[in-house]
Amino acid sequence: MKKLMKYDRYGNEEILKEHLKSGDENAYGFLYKTYYAELCSYMFAISGNEVQAQEIAQQTFIKLWRKRDRLFIHGSLKKYIFKVAYHQYMDAVRQKKRENQLIEDLKYEAIIELLESTPEDLDQKICLLETEINKLPLQCRNVFLLSKKDGLKYKEIAEQLDISIKTVERHMAKALKRLRDGFNRNTSSTEPSPVILYLAMYRVSSMK
Protein backbone atom coordinates (compact mmCIF):
# COMPACT_ATOMS: atom_id res chain seq x y z
CA MET A 1 0.00 0.00 0.00
CA LYS A 2 2.84 2.39 0.85
CA LYS A 3 4.43 1.85 -2.56
CA LEU A 4 1.12 2.50 -4.31
CA MET A 5 0.70 5.76 -2.41
CA LYS A 6 4.28 6.72 -3.24
CA TYR A 7 3.60 6.21 -6.96
CA ASP A 8 0.28 8.10 -6.88
CA ARG A 9 2.10 11.41 -7.36
CA TYR A 10 3.30 10.26 -10.80
CA GLY A 11 -0.20 9.89 -12.21
CA ASN A 12 0.23 13.30 -13.81
CA GLU A 13 2.70 12.92 -16.67
CA GLU A 14 4.02 16.49 -16.48
CA ILE A 15 4.82 15.99 -12.80
CA LEU A 16 6.51 12.69 -13.66
CA LYS A 17 8.70 14.45 -16.25
CA GLU A 18 9.79 17.04 -13.72
CA HIS A 19 10.62 14.39 -11.15
CA LEU A 20 12.67 12.50 -13.74
CA LYS A 21 14.65 15.63 -14.63
CA SER A 22 15.35 16.27 -10.96
CA GLY A 23 16.81 12.75 -10.54
CA ASP A 24 13.97 11.19 -8.57
CA GLU A 25 14.83 7.48 -8.49
CA ASN A 26 11.29 6.55 -7.51
CA ALA A 27 9.99 8.31 -10.60
CA TYR A 28 12.48 6.42 -12.70
CA GLY A 29 11.41 3.15 -11.06
CA PHE A 30 7.79 3.98 -11.79
CA LEU A 31 8.64 4.69 -15.44
CA TYR A 32 10.55 1.42 -15.73
CA LYS A 33 7.77 -0.66 -14.18
CA THR A 34 5.16 1.04 -16.35
CA TYR A 35 6.82 0.72 -19.76
CA TYR A 36 9.66 -1.82 -19.73
CA ALA A 37 7.64 -4.97 -20.53
CA GLU A 38 5.63 -3.19 -23.21
CA LEU A 39 8.79 -1.72 -24.73
CA CYS A 40 10.37 -5.19 -24.88
CA SER A 41 7.30 -6.50 -26.72
CA TYR A 42 7.40 -3.56 -29.13
CA MET A 43 11.09 -4.04 -29.92
CA PHE A 44 10.62 -7.80 -30.31
CA ALA A 45 7.83 -7.15 -32.84
CA ILE A 46 10.23 -4.95 -34.83
CA SER A 47 13.47 -6.93 -34.50
CA GLY A 48 12.21 -10.51 -34.18
CA ASN A 49 15.03 -11.07 -31.68
CA GLU A 50 14.09 -11.40 -28.01
CA VAL A 51 17.61 -10.83 -26.66
CA GLN A 52 18.16 -7.77 -28.83
CA ALA A 53 14.73 -6.43 -27.86
CA GLN A 54 15.58 -6.69 -24.15
CA GLU A 55 19.01 -5.13 -24.63
CA ILE A 56 17.57 -2.16 -26.54
CA ALA A 57 14.86 -1.66 -23.91
CA GLN A 58 17.47 -1.72 -21.13
CA GLN A 59 19.77 0.65 -22.98
CA THR A 60 16.86 3.01 -23.60
CA PHE A 61 16.12 3.33 -19.90
CA ILE A 62 19.82 3.68 -19.09
CA LYS A 63 20.06 6.47 -21.65
CA LEU A 64 17.01 8.22 -20.19
CA TRP A 65 18.52 8.12 -16.72
CA ARG A 66 21.95 9.34 -17.79
CA LYS A 67 20.45 12.25 -19.71
CA ARG A 68 17.67 12.96 -17.24
CA ASP A 69 18.78 16.51 -16.48
CA ARG A 70 18.71 17.35 -20.21
CA LEU A 71 15.31 15.86 -20.99
CA PHE A 72 12.97 18.13 -22.91
CA ILE A 73 9.94 16.01 -23.72
CA HIS A 74 7.04 17.62 -25.48
CA GLY A 75 3.96 15.45 -25.60
CA SER A 76 3.62 11.81 -24.62
CA LEU A 77 6.35 10.34 -22.42
CA LYS A 78 5.57 6.87 -23.73
CA LYS A 79 5.87 8.02 -27.33
CA TYR A 80 9.25 9.62 -26.51
CA ILE A 81 10.59 6.42 -24.88
CA PHE A 82 9.47 4.22 -27.76
CA LYS A 83 10.98 6.65 -30.28
CA VAL A 84 14.35 6.58 -28.48
CA ALA A 85 14.27 2.77 -28.54
CA TYR A 86 13.36 2.70 -32.22
CA HIS A 87 16.28 4.99 -33.12
CA GLN A 88 18.64 2.77 -31.12
CA TYR A 89 17.38 -0.23 -33.08
CA MET A 90 17.91 1.55 -36.42
CA ASP A 91 21.44 2.53 -35.34
CA ALA A 92 22.11 -1.17 -34.65
CA VAL A 93 20.73 -2.14 -38.07
CA ARG A 94 22.95 0.41 -39.82
CA GLN A 95 25.98 -0.78 -37.82
CA LYS A 96 25.25 -4.39 -38.82
CA LYS A 97 25.07 -3.39 -42.48
CA ARG A 98 28.45 -1.63 -42.20
CA GLU A 99 29.93 -4.72 -40.54
CA ASN A 100 28.56 -6.99 -43.27
CA GLN A 101 30.07 -4.76 -45.93
CA LEU A 102 33.39 -4.82 -44.08
CA ILE A 103 33.29 -8.62 -44.06
CA GLU A 104 32.73 -8.74 -47.82
CA ASP A 105 35.50 -6.22 -48.50
CA LEU A 106 37.85 -8.07 -46.18
CA LYS A 107 37.08 -11.41 -47.80
CA TYR A 108 37.97 -9.99 -51.20
CA GLU A 109 41.22 -8.43 -49.98
CA ALA A 110 42.15 -11.62 -48.13
CA ILE A 111 41.60 -13.73 -51.25
CA ILE A 112 43.81 -11.40 -53.30
CA GLU A 113 46.55 -11.55 -50.68
CA LEU A 114 46.31 -15.34 -50.45
CA LEU A 115 46.79 -15.60 -54.20
CA GLU A 116 49.93 -13.47 -53.92
CA SER A 117 51.34 -15.18 -50.79
CA THR A 118 53.55 -18.24 -50.57
CA PRO A 119 52.58 -21.05 -48.16
CA GLU A 120 55.55 -20.02 -46.00
CA ASP A 121 54.29 -16.44 -45.78
CA LEU A 122 50.83 -17.61 -44.77
CA ASP A 123 52.20 -20.01 -42.12
CA GLN A 124 54.28 -17.18 -40.68
CA LYS A 125 51.24 -14.89 -40.47
CA ILE A 126 49.12 -17.58 -38.81
CA CYS A 127 51.88 -18.29 -36.27
CA LEU A 128 52.05 -14.57 -35.52
CA LEU A 129 48.30 -14.46 -35.02
CA GLU A 130 48.41 -17.46 -32.66
CA THR A 131 51.22 -15.82 -30.68
CA GLU A 132 49.25 -12.59 -30.30
CA ILE A 133 46.11 -14.51 -29.25
CA ASN A 134 48.10 -16.22 -26.49
CA LYS A 135 49.21 -12.80 -25.23
CA LEU A 136 45.63 -11.65 -24.63
CA PRO A 137 44.43 -11.33 -20.99
CA LEU A 138 42.87 -14.60 -19.83
CA GLN A 139 39.20 -13.59 -19.86
CA CYS A 140 39.64 -11.66 -23.08
CA ARG A 141 41.29 -14.69 -24.71
CA ASN A 142 38.59 -17.04 -23.44
CA VAL A 143 35.84 -14.86 -24.90
CA PHE A 144 37.66 -14.51 -28.21
CA LEU A 145 38.31 -18.24 -28.63
CA LEU A 146 34.80 -19.25 -27.57
CA SER A 147 33.48 -16.95 -30.28
CA LYS A 148 35.94 -17.48 -33.11
CA LYS A 149 37.19 -21.01 -32.47
CA ASP A 150 34.18 -22.70 -30.89
CA GLY A 151 31.61 -20.67 -32.82
CA LEU A 152 29.50 -19.69 -29.81
CA LYS A 153 27.13 -16.73 -29.99
CA TYR A 154 27.62 -13.81 -27.62
CA LYS A 155 24.62 -14.87 -25.53
CA GLU A 156 26.04 -18.39 -25.14
CA ILE A 157 29.45 -17.01 -24.16
CA ALA A 158 27.85 -14.72 -21.59
CA GLU A 159 25.96 -17.64 -20.05
CA GLN A 160 29.00 -19.93 -20.02
CA LEU A 161 31.30 -17.35 -18.41
CA ASP A 162 28.57 -15.78 -16.23
CA ILE A 163 29.11 -12.28 -17.63
CA SER A 164 26.88 -9.84 -19.49
CA ILE A 165 26.58 -9.69 -23.27
CA LYS A 166 27.96 -6.14 -23.14
CA THR A 167 31.05 -7.45 -21.35
CA VAL A 168 31.47 -10.06 -24.07
CA GLU A 169 31.28 -7.31 -26.70
CA ARG A 170 33.91 -5.24 -24.86
CA HIS A 171 36.28 -8.22 -24.62
CA MET A 172 35.86 -8.93 -28.35
CA ALA A 173 36.57 -5.32 -29.30
CA LYS A 174 39.65 -5.30 -27.03
CA ALA A 175 40.90 -8.60 -28.48
CA LEU A 176 40.61 -7.45 -32.10
CA LYS A 177 42.35 -4.15 -31.34
CA ARG A 178 45.23 -5.90 -29.56
CA LEU A 179 45.62 -8.40 -32.39
CA ARG A 180 45.78 -5.61 -34.97
CA ASP A 181 48.25 -3.62 -32.85
CA GLY A 182 50.35 -6.73 -32.21
CA PHE A 183 50.57 -7.49 -35.91
CA ASN A 184 51.65 -3.92 -36.64
CA ARG A 185 54.42 -4.13 -34.02
CA ASN A 186 55.83 -7.28 -35.55
CA THR A 187 55.79 -6.30 -39.22
CA SER A 188 57.13 -3.46 -41.29
CA SER A 189 53.65 -2.74 -42.66
CA THR A 190 51.63 0.11 -41.19
CA GLU A 191 48.38 -1.72 -41.98
CA PRO A 192 47.42 -5.22 -40.77
CA SER A 193 47.34 -7.95 -43.39
CA PRO A 194 43.79 -8.60 -44.72
CA VAL A 195 44.46 -12.32 -44.23
CA ILE A 196 45.32 -11.76 -40.57
CA LEU A 197 42.27 -9.57 -40.01
CA TYR A 198 40.02 -12.07 -41.73
CA LEU A 199 41.38 -14.99 -39.73
CA ALA A 200 41.21 -13.03 -36.48
CA MET A 201 37.70 -11.74 -37.01
CA TYR A 202 35.95 -14.58 -38.80
CA ARG A 203 37.97 -17.74 -39.33
CA VAL A 204 40.04 -18.60 -36.28
CA SER A 205 38.29 -21.98 -36.20
CA SER A 206 40.13 -22.91 -39.41
CA MET A 207 43.52 -22.48 -37.82
CA LYS A 208 45.55 -25.56 -36.97
Quick check: 2 pLDDT over 50? no
pLDDT beyond 80 at 8: no
Mean per-residue pLDDT over the chain, rounded? 77
Percent of the chain with pLDDT over 70: 74
> pLDDT at position 9, please?
67
How buried is residue 68: exposed, middle or buried, by Cβ count under 10 Å (0-12/13-18/19+)? middle
Q: Distance (Å, rounded) from C-alpha 133 to C-alpha 89? A: 32
Whether the per-residue pLDDT at 7 is higher than 70: the answer is no
Please write the tens of the pLDDT for every residue from 180-192.
777 777 665 545 5
Tell me which of 47 and 107 has the higher pLDDT: 47
Q: Are 146 and 152 in contact (CB under 8 A)?
A: yes
pLDDT tens column, 60-96: 988 888 887 777 777 788 888 899 899 989 988 888 7
For the stretch 142-181, pLDDT in tens is 998 888 878 788 888 988 999 888 888 889 888 888 877 7
